[in-house]
């Protein structure tokens, strides 16, 4: 199968599994009187950062658990489908965002800024991600995914921005 179908499906299955572990972790934390998010929740929010954090901040607690989980898994599939389409577009030498130059430059600059802000947040990672309650495996996975979202956003958007400014539509091989 193609990357644009396999990647979203794999991420949706992973999101459903991590949401289930998040629920079980919440149940266990109620009885253990623990604070913070379970490690599965932190890992899920880091893996799907562009949709995970807004959905957690805006909809958590307002929707029933099953509706939130279904929305999160669907949004995860849409996010990773867009990532797969971006990779496909990049391989073909097309624009990652928009074809109209002013909108393309604004979108690339916005993505660079978002990646830089995420990188800035990672500098203060002792308060964001604590190794003490996550454990090393989950901490490294969460850190790696956040670094990927930060650097990936900056690098791919900068490449697209320079290609846009130079006026090249296709990559030269």
Mean pLDDT across the stretch 2-14? 89
Is the pLDDT assigned to residue 82 strictly greater than 50?
A: yes
Mean pLDDT across the stretch 117-137? 65
Please enumerate in sequence order all residues whose Cβ is within 8 A of that of 99, keeping only pairs 6 or more positions apart, or say none: none
- Tens digit of each residue's pLDDT (9 = 90 or more) over 128-145: 565 555 677 777 777 788
| Residue 173: per-residue pLDDT | 44
- Tens digit of each residue's pLDDT (9 = 90 or more) over 17-72: 998 988 888 777 777 766 667 778 888 888 888 887 777 777 777 778 888 888 88
Is the pLDDT assigned to residue 104 strictly greater than 70?
A: yes
| Residue 53: per-residue pLDDT | 76
Q: Count CB atoms within 10 A of the CB of residue 18.
A: 24
Is pTM beyond 0.85? Reply is: no
Look at 58 and 103; give whichever has higher pLDDT: 103
């Amino acid at each position: 199968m193609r990357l644009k179908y396999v990647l979203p499906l794999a991420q949706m299955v992973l999101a459903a599994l991590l949401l289930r572990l998040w629920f079980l972790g919440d149940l266990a934390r109620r009885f253990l009187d623990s604070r913070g998010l379970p490690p599965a929740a932190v890992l899920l929010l880091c893996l799907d950062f562009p949709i995970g954090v807004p959905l957690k901040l805006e909809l958590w607690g307002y929707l029933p658990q099953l509706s939130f989980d279904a929305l999160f898994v669907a949004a995860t599939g849409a996010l990773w489908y867009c990532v797969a389409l971006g990779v496909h577009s990049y391989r073909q030498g097309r624009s990652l965002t928009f074809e109209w130059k002013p909108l393309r430059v604004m979108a690339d600059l916005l993505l660079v800024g978002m990646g830089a802000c995420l990188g800035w947040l990672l500098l203060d990672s002792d308060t964001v991600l604590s190794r003490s309650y996550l454990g090393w495996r989950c901490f490294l996975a969460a850190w790696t995914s956040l670094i990927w979202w930060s650097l990936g956003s900056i690098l791919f958007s900068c490449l697209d921005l320079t290609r846009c400014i130079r006026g090249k539509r296709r990559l030269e091989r």
